Chains A and B, each alone.
Chain A
């Protein structure tokens, strides 16, 4: 009987298992050890199952099912094809690492009771998988809202702190503004047929006007979830507020469901692609990426820094997708497949390295109780484990070979280089400029990441209490190691990873890059031909290691001396202490100065006569002041006007009714 189950059935069973695990948590609300040492590992095991099932489903033909849930006459339609299977595989694989880490992470007495947290967490995972599986607008929206709500409760798990409640509120607000746009988008797509299944939407031949309307609504709606400018505003608030495993899931995985939605609408549900959609996505993606990386370089809170870095990566994903749309619109399918492969590859690698980094900050937060970079430092000596593991994430995030981030960046740059050949000369000129900006973003990401790692783990501890910091527990280490392994596999075996991604591009564009890549050998990544471009990460690693050992052996042969420990060179100034190191503000200072117009800065310089000189700088987002605060002010003003009607006295309300009645009667007479 088991053999006859489809992949989809397996996935539904596993989702059911998640819900059971979550429900058990409700019954064991305050039994901390049971929840953390039994339920979370069980959930991680289910994640692993989801990953394996989804991975094998990518290579199979699409499967559909109808669930008799929901309203009468309006069942949930589900469909598992290569695109959804790929995203579910990402959810499962990253989720496994995060769940194992979470098993060792949550502590007693932190906000929400552990059992409830366990329920919310597993509901969140289930809803993400079901969003990706949904095959009609109704199921999609229900799951989308479940996802938003469960993650809202997770974000506000420390709800006694006012700033966290505020962050959660902002998140919920923007998520719902986005949800409205998504709903409208589905409304346009069903083209007045009243049938909201995706199957029906695929069959509609919309005019270019309505197609564009649907596309723009989708960009707005999914952009709100993904954090595309100017709807990014909730990310840097919600991520620091949430517990670290939750930030890891939200940043690594949940943002990707928005990318999934955008891909589903623009390549699958819409039957045509117009070139200017690609330009819009390119422009939005580029602005988002540049903005994200510049802001991440000046942050002083480690989780905010990572949140802005997520914004940057979402921007890069949009650039890849935009390029794909552009090529598809001109029927250059091979190039569209290359750009989309870069985008999907980055989905996977960002999911891994960003979850890894967020979990690393979680360990630091638990060991020190500090999120502020100005009070950290020197942790490499006290938590070497977490430090080395985070270093892998940092290198992958900076887009350095031979890690996962580099492969996607490499593919993206390659798809720019093959561009000459677009029929529009204007676009041809635009592309190198975009490529240059992408290269700049990638290099700036390195700056931000060196700052992140250097200020937290290197140097001298800036506070005395840091010397008591302890390294991560074994469950946390296991979770971190799983994600490190993911970063390495993504970096070292691109040919094998492109195999499943190729199925997705075959589905969306009708061209599979994997055939060309496979033909060039199992370790050599050459998307077009070896003469044009190739990259072999395994050889790269082996030669790199060989050069490293060459240096070691050479030193052994040449060197006879000893190694002596001594105090560092103080430049003749013996009064130096740990507070004199470069701070996070100091490290970001060149960026603040160079990209001055991007920031809204408030700098207070001390005067020469101050008894206790104080220097402070705060960096703020222009968009708050340009968009959000005016909207909030207008809303409040309108509400106040309406509020004037409400006097709170019954006689006044009776007067209103009376006046309305008279007005109605007069109206009827006329």
Chain B
């Protein structure tokens, strides 16, 4: 473990914490533009977090300890996820501690806690949201795993840093298996981050909401942590996409000066990613909840087909 490694590790965490609300804000702004609305400020998310952190927290009378601990756990999981994913540098001391499978496990851990916390109050909406979240989760989780496995089969490794290093150094060709994996990943990322066509982040309509139903009972600092964690999750998913499909511009071991270039590169890539997501959201319509399972099953199938294609064509 070198000092430059520790430095890049810390820089990554700080960058994730600071940039995540910006990414959410940017995606919302792009969506507003595309839908011919006047866009909210790019900094709205930060203001909202500040406001929430300063507000009083109202907790239901019979809420248990689990309800109050869950936001911290979910937030901690997302911070850790952004520490594992190589966004700026592959010189990460934490990378051997958790590979792609552990990363999926980490997201699952956060999901289980957010669902349990939602069930804790015992209102109809909380358990409704928990059920839907777990429904999405059990389909999206294996699909994400299969996407990561497609990359692992190419690079012969499940370590995220090894995957990035190997993929970045091969000549630019479109792997057929990665094309399938890319489509599958996009679908999974939309579902996991509560975006249209699976969920709509900007409504509180009872019959359709998923993520908002989960955090309906939270307020004040707890809600702030949950919102921040949601932004971090979007950030983490975008970064997984970037590392798998556009792995260029990430600093490597022994060259910390590349980090100077890596940060603007990351911001650029994320800006394009956020805009693309807004475009997809604008162009598609929200689905019924039972279409969602078909949507995600398709993603799962595509990811598996990606792996099979890799084995068939050997690429």
Which residues of chain A have a CB within 8 Å of any CB of chain B? 377-378, 380-381, 384, 387, 391, 395, 398-401, 406, 409-410, 413-414, 417, 420, 428-429, 432-433, 435-436, 439-440, 442-444, 446-447, 449-451, 453-455, 458-460, 524, 526, 530-536, 539-540, 543-545, 547-548, 550-552, 555, 558-571, 576, 578, 580-582, 586-587, 589-590, 593-594
Contact = CB atoms under 8 A, between A and B. Distances in A.
A562 B80 CA distance: 28
A472 B83 CA distance: 40
B141 interface: yes
B53 A446 contact: no
A443 B220 contact: no
Interface of B: 53-62, 64-66, 71-73, 75-77, 79-80, 83, 94, 96-99, 101-102, 105-106, 108-109, 111-112, 115-116, 119-128, 130-132, 134-135, 137-139, 141-142, 145-146, 149, 152-153, 156-159, 162, 206, 216-217, 220-221, 225, 289-290, 293, 300, 303-304, 307-308, 311-312
Contact of A429 (B61, B66, B111, B312): B312
Given A395-B112, A561-B57, A429 B308 contact: yes
Contacts of A387: 64
Nearest to A293: B138
Contacts of A562: 56-57
Contact of B221 (A428, A442, A559, A566): A559
Contacts of A442: 141-142
Contacts of B111: 446
Contacts of A539: 94, 97-98
Which 4 residue pairs across A and B have the least CB separation, nearest first? A459-B122, A582-B127, A547-B76, A439-B142
Contacts of B115: 450, 454
Given A400-B108, A449-B112, A459-B122, 19 more contacts: A401-B109, A432-B308, A440-B142, A443-B139, A447-B138, A458-B66, A530-B96, A530-B159, A535-B97, A548-B72, A550-B76, A555-B72, A555-B225, A559-B53, A563-B59, A565-B60, A571-B206, A582-B127, A586-B127
Contacts, number: 263
Contacts of B64: 380-381, 384, 387, 458
B159 A531 contact: yes
A629 to B, nearest CB: 32
A466 to B, nearest CB: 12
Contact of A436 (B59, B80, B146): B146
A548 B71 CA distance: 9
Given A395-B112, A436-B142, A532 B94 contact: no
B146 A439 contact: yes
Contacts of B54: 558-561
A587 B96 contact: no
Contacts of A587: 127, 131
A436 B304 contact: yes
Contacts of A443: 108, 137-139, 141-142
Contact of A532 (B57, B106, B156): B156
Prevailing SS type, chain B contact patch? helix
A551 B72 contact: yes
A565 B83 CA distance: 35
B141 A563 contact: no
Nearest to B75: A551
A563 B221 CA distance: 9
A381 B290 CA distance: 34
B125 A571 contact: yes
A535 B98 CA distance: 5
Contacts of A384: 64-65
A578 B122 contact: yes
A460 B62 contact: yes
Nearest to B106: A401
Contacts of B131: 582, 586-587, 589-590
Given A400-B108, A440-B142, A564 B57 contact: yes
A319 B108 CA distance: 23
A561 B220 contact: yes
A625 to B, nearest CB: 27
Nearest to A580: B124
A447 B57 contact: no
Contact of B122 (A378, A451, A526): A378
A536 B94 CA distance: 9
Contact of A444 (B62, B72, B138): B138
A536 B98 contact: yes
27 contacts: A380-B120, A414-B101, A417-B149, A417-B153, A420-B311, A429-B308, A432-B146, A443-B108, A443-B139, A446-B137, A446-B138, A453-B116, A459-B119, A531-B162, A534-B99, A543-B83, A544-B76, A547-B77, A547-B79, A551-B225, A555-B225, A559-B221, A561-B220, A564-B58, A564-B59, A569-B217, A586-B131
Given A569-B123, A594-B293, A400 B105 contact: yes
A400 B56 contact: no
A217 B119 CA distance: 47
A428 B311 contact: yes
Contact of B162 (A399, A439, A532): A532
Contacts of A530: 96, 159
A532 to B, nearest CB: 5
Contacts of A435: 146, 149, 307
Contacts of B125: 571
A530 to B, nearest CB: 6
Contacts of A558: 53-54, 221
A534 B68 CA distance: 33
Given A400-B109, A540-B98, A555-B225, A440 B53 contact: no
Contacts of A391: 66
Contacts of A428: 311
A400 B80 CA distance: 15
Contacts of B153: 417, 420
Nearest to B103: A401
Contacts of A460: 62, 122
Contacts of A410: 101-102, 105
Contacts of B137: 443, 446-447
B120 A458 contact: yes
Contacts of B308: 429, 432-433
A439 B77 CA distance: 21
Given A566-B61, A567-B61, A400 B112 contact: yes
Contacts of A380: 64-66, 120
Given A446-B138, A548-B72, A433 B304 contact: yes
Contacts of B216: 569
B75 A547 contact: yes
Contacts of B108: 398-400, 443, 446
Nearest to B55: A561
Contacts of B307: 432, 435-436
Contacts of A589: 131
Nearest to B100: A533
B122 A432 contact: no
Contacts of B76: 544-545, 547-548, 550-551
B62 A378 contact: yes
A532 B96 contact: no
A532 B159 contact: yes
Contacts of B149: 417, 432, 435
A377 B79 contact: no
A458 B119 contact: yes
B60 A568 contact: yes
Contacts of B66: 380, 391, 458
B109 A561 contact: no
B169 to A, nearest CB: 14
A611 B266 CA distance: 64
A550 B304 CA distance: 38
Nearest to B69: A548
Given A400-B108, A406-B105, A550-B76, A459 B312 contact: no
Contacts of B96: 524, 526, 530, 534, 536
B157 A532 contact: yes
Contact of B97 (A377, A436, A536): A536
